[in-house]
Amino acid sequence: MALTGRELMNYMEELAPLKYAEEWDNVGFLIGDPDRRIEKILVALDATPQVVEEGIVNQVDLIVTHHPFPFRGFKSVRRDQVEGKLIFSMIENHISLYAAHTNLDIAFGGTNDVLADEIGLESVDILSPLSMEEKGEHKDSGVHKREILGMGRIGKLSEPMVLKKYSNHVRKSLGLTYVRVVGNVNQKIQKVAICTGSGMSYLWEGIRQGADVFITGDVKFHEAQEALQQGIAIIDAGHYGTEHLIVPALAKSLKEWTQGKIMILESKVERDPFQLIQE
């Protein structure tokens, strides 16, 4: 069995519709020929030089990533520059690229739902609701949807847990060597708000809804100070740490869709770019 990039686009559009993406985002079929046949797919968080080389070595036809490449527009495509070299490499090796970013963060079953499930949240709800009308669905469209989507999730632990213990649970669940914590480590935690990636702009939603802790990545110094003043704990599990779980989840979804008739690979070369130096 083989399919085309266009068929993959249609499936991904069902999974994480492009209309869910933030206006600034760059998502969808970004590089390659959508009508070319696909027999092997590599799933990764980013289209880094290492991941593209992995795709070349494994002779894949398509790379599906969470983070877009290119992320922002540029005015030239040159082989002697990093971005241009990657684009040349993909085109010359007949590798296409598809990205699902903020639309996959918002979508049901996307990054935030995967994270919520992995760290043991129950009674999960949307942290920052966004109505379908705000994403282009109007009452006169003939589609009467009351479905509410949004960024982030909020839920509860089955039993209260002190911050230190829960932080270690999060660290182990995500396969990390460390997490950064803000707040009293002996504080009891039960209501948990999350937003994958760089989600501190949603901190106030967590505060408003009475969360005991907010889990995200890329927390800045002054944001941490603000959280302390507001009495909400933070677990900074990193950008990579909160999002890398989407790779096996997305690979599984693609395997089910293709019924095992197309080879779906998960990147084995991706690593968190940050290292912890302890000596």
**276: in domain:** no
119 and 221 inside one domain: yes
pTM score of the predicted model: 0.92
**260: in domain:** yes
Model pLDDT, residue 67: 97
The tokens describing 14, both together, are: 């069902």
> Domain of 23?
3-103+243-266
The mean of the pLDDT values for the chain is 92
Model confidence pLDDT, tens digit, residues 65-112: 999 998 877 778 888 888 999 999 999 999 999 999 999 999 999 999
Model pLDDT, residue 218: 97
**φ, ψ dihedrals at 190, nearest 5°:** -140, -45
Model pLDDT, residue 55: 98
Model pLDDT, residue 66: 98
Model pLDDT, residue 57: 98
Model pLDDT, residue 134: 54
Q: Whose CA is closest to 242, among 273, 198, 189?
A: 198
CATH number at residue 199: 3.40.1390.30
Model pLDDT, residue 275: 87
**16: in domain:** yes
95 and 115 inside one domain: no
* Distance from C-alpha of 152 to C-alpha of 206, rounded to nearest angstrom: 9
Q: Coil, strand, or helix at residue 29?
A: strand
Q: What percentage of residues in the chain have a pLDDT greater than 90?
A: 84
* Distance from C-alpha of 111 to C-alpha of 102, rounded to nearest angstrom: 9
User: What is the domain count for the chain?
Assistant: 2
DSSP lists the bridge partners of residue 43 as 64, 266
205 and 122 inside one domain: yes
Ranges in the chain, pLDDT < 70: 1, 131-147
36 and 129 inside one domain: no
